Each structure stands twice: as structure tokens, then as C-alpha cells.
């Protein structure tokens, strides 16, 4: 018997859109959904396409690109069941800096991708999911929305906005059968976080968890696929913290 993470065994035949899908954590989500038998539309910026026709170049801040993503999903697979709003600006942030040194341009860019991009994705897929009688949306937040993080005010603000968007959208879309949830990861030990954090800081973060080890992208897969699946059919408006027991909340 094939073992699937979370509720992924309930996903065969579903169509899942994953943004920020070309590398890192997003690529892990793509692999997990494909192993589970779902049709995956993997979205990322131009230059990060797949050769099997399921990759779509798209900017999550572009309304026109979102329309094209939805159209691609429907024309290729005939349905759109799940959206994973994973695309975000993090490693591109130019190092930790006091809030007084963050420029308006940087602030606008981070909020545009992380917060507005999440809303635009929900806005784009909601009509299709409504017509189909329901769907599932999983937004990716961060535990820093609760803890704060010095030097990353714009990123923290954007992820707090994601959680607010999740709650408001869940209230509004619930009567249409659309579930909206979020996952708040702790600090994941991968290439992106190593760019902005010292090895000592990553080690300290791992040791501060109840499950005292580094967090990997694979640690998130089960929660995301569970929230996307019908197994979580009565769960909406929630943010699930996945951080190995660093923050209880």
C-alpha cells in the first residue's frame, strides 16, 4: 500500500494549483500532491517552467496572470479544486535591517507579493470553486506573525495580513463550500533561510523547539495536504502552526 502524507490519499483526480512551486518548499508540495495522484499546476515566475505542460509562468501580483493560471487549469484538467498560496518574498529581502531603514519600495514589494498576491489568488479561483460547489484554499503564513522578528517588519506584517485574509475569506466563502485555512511554519532550514540567518541562529532555533531538531520542508507537507483534502472537510478559518513545538498558540 502506498503511504501518502496527511489526507493526500483522498486527492486523486483533483486539480491543485501551487504558487512559488519551482524550488524549495513549493517544490515539496508539488511532489507530494503528484505522488497522491492529483493534477498539479505549478506556478512560478518566468524561467522556472516544467517541461510536462503543467508549469505556468505567472506573477501572483498580476490579475491577468491569475486569469491565465485559472484558464490553464480548466483547459488542461477541466477543474480546479485546491489552491496553495505559497509564493512569497523572503530570501530576496536585503538582509535584516531596522524598520527605519526599510524603504517604501521594499515595503510595497513584500506586501504586494505576500499579502496582495494571496488575496488575488483567492479572488481568481473563488468563482470556479463556487460553480463547482466547493474547494479548498491553503495559505502559507509564518510563525513570525505571532512572535515578531527584528529586522523583518515588512515580512512579519505581510504574514499577519495573510492570516487576516484567511479568516475573512473563510467567513465569506464558507457558505459556498469553499474552505480557507493557513499553515504557519517555523524557521525552515533550507537555502533561503541560510541566506539570511547564521548557522548559529539556525542551531539555536532548532534547540528551542520541543522537538529539538532542524525543521525541513518535508515537515510541512502532511499538514498542507491534509488541509487541502476532504479529510479536513469541516476545518476552515484556521491557522495551523507547524514548528516542532516552539510556539504554542
Q: How far apart are CA 86 and CA 88, in angstroms?
A: 6
pLDDT band at 72 (very low <50, low <70, confident <90, very high): very high
Burial class (CB within 10 angstroms; exposed 0-12, middle 13-18, buried 19+) of 19: buried
Residue 112 near residue 158, CB atoms below 8 Å? no
| CA-CA-CA-CA torsion sign (195, 92, 122, 236) | positive
> Residue 95 has what pLDDT?
67
Burial class (CB within 10 angstroms; exposed 0-12, middle 13-18, buried 19+) of 127: exposed
- 91 pLDDT higher than 70: no
Provide mean pLDDT across the span 206-220. Answer: 82
> Residue 196 has what pLDDT?
57
> Residue 1 has what pLDDT?
38
- 49 pLDDT higher than 60: no
Provide mean pLDDT across the span 43-63. Answer: 81
Pick the most confident of 64-78, 84-98, 210-224.
64-78
Catalytic amino acids? 155
Residues of the chain with pLDDT > 90, as a percent, come to 70
The structural domains of the chain, ordered by start, are: 8-186+216-242 (3.40.50.720)
pLDDT band at 8 (very low <50, low <70, confident <90, very high): low
> Residue 226 has what pLDDT?
97
- 143 pLDDT higher than 80: yes
Q: How far apart are CA 63 and CA 45, in angstroms?
A: 14
| 58: CB partners within 8 A, 6+ apart | 19, 43, 44, 45, 65, 66, 68, 69
Amino acid at each position: 500500500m502506498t503511504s501518502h502524507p496527511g489526507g493526500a490519499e483522498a486527492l486523486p483526480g483533483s486539480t491543485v494549483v501551487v504558487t512559488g512551486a519551482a524550488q524549495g518548499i513549493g517544490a515539496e508540495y508539488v511532489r507530494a500532491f503528484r505522488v497522491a495522484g492529483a493534477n498539479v499546476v505549478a506556478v512560478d515566475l518566468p524561467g522556472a517552467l516544467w517541461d510536462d505542460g503543467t508549469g505556468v509562468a505567472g506573477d501572483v501580483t498580476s490579475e491577468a496572470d491569475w486569469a491565465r493560471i485559472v484558464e490553464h487549469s480548466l483547459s488542461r484538467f477541466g477543474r480546479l479544486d485546491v489552491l496553495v498560496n505559497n509564493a512569497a518574498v523572503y530570501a530576496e529581502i536585503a538582509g535584516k535591517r531596522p524598520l527605519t531603514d526599510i524603504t517604501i519600495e521594499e515595503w510595497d514589494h513584500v506586501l504586494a507579493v505576500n499579502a496582495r498576491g494571496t488575496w488575488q489568488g483567492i479572488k481568481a479561483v473563488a468563482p470556479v470553486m463556487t460553480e463547482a460547489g466547493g474547494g479548498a484554499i491553503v495559505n502559507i503564513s509564518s510563525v513570525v506573525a505571532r512572535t515578531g522578528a527584528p529586522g523583518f517588519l515588512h515580512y512579519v506584517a505581510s504574514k499577519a495580513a495573510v492570516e487576516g485574509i484567511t479568516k475573512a475569506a473563510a467567513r465569506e466563502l464558507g457558505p459556498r463550500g469553499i474552505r480557507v485555512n493557513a499553515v504557519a511554519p517555523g524557521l525552515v532550514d533550507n537555502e533561503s533561510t541560510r541566506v539570511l540567518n547564521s548557522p548559529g541562529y539556525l542551531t539555536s532555533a532548532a534547540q528551542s523547539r520541543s522537538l529539538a531538531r532542524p525543521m525541513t520542508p518535508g515537515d510541512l507537507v502532511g499538514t498542507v495536504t491534509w488541509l487541502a483534502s476532504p479529510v479536513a472537510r469541516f476545518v476552515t478559518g484556521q491557522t495551523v502552526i507547524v514548528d516542532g513545538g516552539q510556539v504554542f498558540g
